[in-house]
Structure 1
C-alpha cells in the first residue's frame, strides 16, 4: 500500500497528461470552469482501526458534463449510491474517519482501476497502458460509457486527454486520500479495516436481501470479521448474503490484504430500506438504518479490540 499511489502515477497518469497537446480540442469536455468540491475526509478518532468510505455517494454534477451528456440528469444519477455518507454519520461519530467522493461515479468511478477503460469510447491514439477488464469493455470502467441503467452517456467519442484529465482530477485525489489514511491507521494500530459503503437497487439479481457483504470470497477480509458483521446484521433482523451478486470490486481488491492485517469489506445496502428510489428521497427508514449501521460498526470495533 505504501507505494500504491506513486506506482499508479508512474505507470500512466503522468505519461498521459504530458501527451495532451495544447491545441487539442476537448469540445464540450473542457476543464470545469467551477472548481469541484474536494474529496472530503471527516477525521475520526485515531483510536479506531476502522475507516469508512463512500466512493459512490457524490452528487456534484458539473454543468458542462450535464449539458454535454445525451441523457437527462435523472438517468445520469441512476448508478448513484445516494446518501450513503449521511447514513454513515452515526457510525462515524463512534470514531472511524469517513472518506467520501463528492463527484458522481458516472463522471469518474474510483471503484475501477484507473486505466480500466473501453477503448471504443475515444477517438485518436490510445496509450498502450490501457488495460480494460470485461467490466470496462461493457462500458462500466473508470470513465463509464453507459449509465447505471445501461444508456449511452455521450453523443460522440471523447479525446483520450479527457479521460486522463478526469483520472488526475477525481480518481487520483480520492485514492491518494484513502491510501494514506489506511496506511496511517495501520501504522497506529497494526491493523485496519476498510468498510466500503454502497447501495443496491431492489432487483432480482440482488436476491432481494437487505445486505450483501463482499470480501472477494475471503481474499480481501478475514473470515472472522465478515462473520461478525453478518452475525450482527442478522441479530438486528436483516437478511444477508455474501459475495453474490456483489463480491467487491477494485477498492476491496486493492486495499484488502488479510495476511498483512489490512482488511476491506464491501457493504451493499438495499436502497428501499432507507429511500424511495424513484424520487431519490429518504423516507422513515433512514434513521433506523443509520442507527443500525452504528451498531454494526460498534460491534466490529469491539471485535477488533
Structure 2
C-alpha cells in the first residue's frame, strides 16, 4: 500500500481564553513524492536547498515556548516544506517575490537555480495545498475572535546570518531578532512587548531583512481586532547553519517567546 501523505497542517489547541496563535509556516522539510516528481533537483541538491530554505527548529521553538506559558497559546504548524507551496505568499502577480521565482509556488531556488520547469502550472498545487491552508488559518483566527474578542498572530520564522541570493532586501541590517510589522495590524503595545522580550539577544530590528507579517486576507486591513507580528530569528543564535542541529540558544529563545505570549494576555 502507498505511504499516506502527511497532514499538510496542524492546529494545536491552546487555552480557551488565549487570543494568541503561534503560526509556524516554514519549519518542515517534508516534500511529498507527488510533489517531488515536479522538482528538477536531484536528491542531493534538494537536501541542500532544504537546508537553506527551511526555518529549522521553529516548530520546536514554538512548542517549547507554549509549554512555558502561563496561558497556553494556540499553534498552527505547516507540516510540509515551503517548497511545496509557500502559504505566506500571494498566489497572484501582486507579490514581488513572484518575479524572483518565489511566489506561492517556487520555480527558483534560494540561489536562483531552476527548481521547477518553465511554464509549470501552479494551480494543482494551489488547489491541493495553498487554499486549504489559507482557509484553515482564516478559520483559526475567526475562532479566536469568537472566543476572546481578539486574535494575535505571532509568525515564528528564522533567517540565515548571511544573505542568500534570493533575498530582495538582503543588503540591510541583519539583527539578532528582526521584528516584521504591519501598519494596520501591529499596534505599538505589541511591538513594545516583543522588543522587551527579545532584548537580551543583542538587539532587535524592524523590517530588515524581512518585513510585514501574516494576516489572512479576510481580515487584512479589515479587522483591527486582529494583531500580528513576525519574529525572524537569526539562525546563528540557536543552530548550526545552514541546516544543522539546534543548540542551547533555543531554550533561551523559547523563554523569550513565552514571555511575549504571557505579556499579550494583559495587552
The bucket for the TM-score relative to the shorter chain is 0.7 to 0.9
Of residues 18, 38, 46, the one that matches 2:16 is: 46
Q: Whole-Å Cα distance in 1 between the matches of residues 75 and 223 of structure 2?
A: 24
Per the alignment, in what secondary structure is the counterpart of residue 198 of structure 1?
strand
Is 1:247 aligned to 2:208, yes or no?
no
Matches within 5 A, 1:100-115: 100-113=77-90, 115=91
Q: Which residue of 1 aligns with 2:98?
A: 136
Q: Whole-Å Cα distance in 1 between the matches of residues 216 and 231 of structure 2?
A: 14
Cα gap change, 1:257 to 1:92, in 2 (>3 Å): farther
Cα gap change, 1:239 to 1:42, in 2 (>3 Å): same
Of residues 23, 33, 36, the one that matches 1:63 is: 33
Q: Whole-Å Cα distance in 1 between the matches of residues 83 and 252 of structure 2?
A: 29
Q: Whole-Å Cα distance in 2 between the matches of residues 159 and 258 of structure 1?
A: 34
Q: Whole-Å Cα distance in 1 between the matches of residues 211 and 8 of structure 2?
A: 29
Q: Which residue of 2 aligns with 1:208?
A: 174
* Conserved? CA contact 2:176–2:201, under 8 Å: no
Q: Deviations over 1:242-269 (max 9, x none)?
A: 11222125x2473454862211111111
Per the alignment, in what secondary structure is the counterpart of residue 269 of structure 1?
strand
Q: Which runs of 5+ in 2 are unaligned?
A: 164-169
- Number of paired residues? 251
Q: Which residue of 1 aligns with 2:147?
A: 188
TM-score, with structure 1 as normaliser: 0.75
* Conserved? CA contact 1:221–1:258, under 8 Å: no
* Conserved? CA contact 1:221–1:256, under 8 Å: no
Q: Displacement, 1:171?
A: 1.1
Q: Which residue of 1 aligns with 2:47?
A: 74
Cα gap change, 1:238 to 1:256, in 2 (>3 Å): farther
Matches within 5 A, 1:105-184: 105-113=82-90, 115-116=91-92, 131-154=93-116, 156-160=117-121, 163-184=122-143
Q: Whole-Å Cα distance in 1 between the matches of residues 230 and 261 of structure 2?
A: 13
Of residues 239, 260, 263, the one that matches 2:224 is: 260
Per the alignment, in what secondary structure is the counterpart of residue 282 of structure 1?
coil
* Conserved? CA contact 1:75–1:149, under 8 Å: no
TM-score, with structure 2 as normaliser: 0.85
* Conserved? CA contact 1:91–1:298, under 8 Å: no
Cα gap change, 1:231 to 1:257, in 2 (>3 Å): farther
Higher RCO (CA < 8 A, seq sep 6+): 2
Q: Whole-Å Cα distance in 2 between the matches of residues 291 and 228 of structure 1?
A: 14
Q: Which residue of 1 aligns with 2:238?
A: 274
Q: Which residue of 1 aligns with 2:264?
A: 300
Cα gap change, 1:169 to 1:253, in 2 (>3 Å): closer
Q: Displacement, 1:237?
A: 4.0
Q: Whole-Å Cα distance in 1 between the matches of residues 255 and 196 of structure 2?
A: 17
Q: Whole-Å Cα distance in 2 between the matches of residues 258 and 268 of structure 1?
A: 25
Q: Which runs of 5+ in 1 are unaligned?
A: 1-31, 117-130
Question: Higher helix fraction: Structure 1 or Structure 2?
Answer: 1
Q: Whole-Å Cα distance in 2 between the matches of residues 258 and 212 of structure 1?
A: 25
Q: Displacement, 1:288?
A: 2.1
Cα gap change, 1:52 to 1:223, in 2 (>3 Å): same
Q: Displacement, 1:200?
A: 0.8
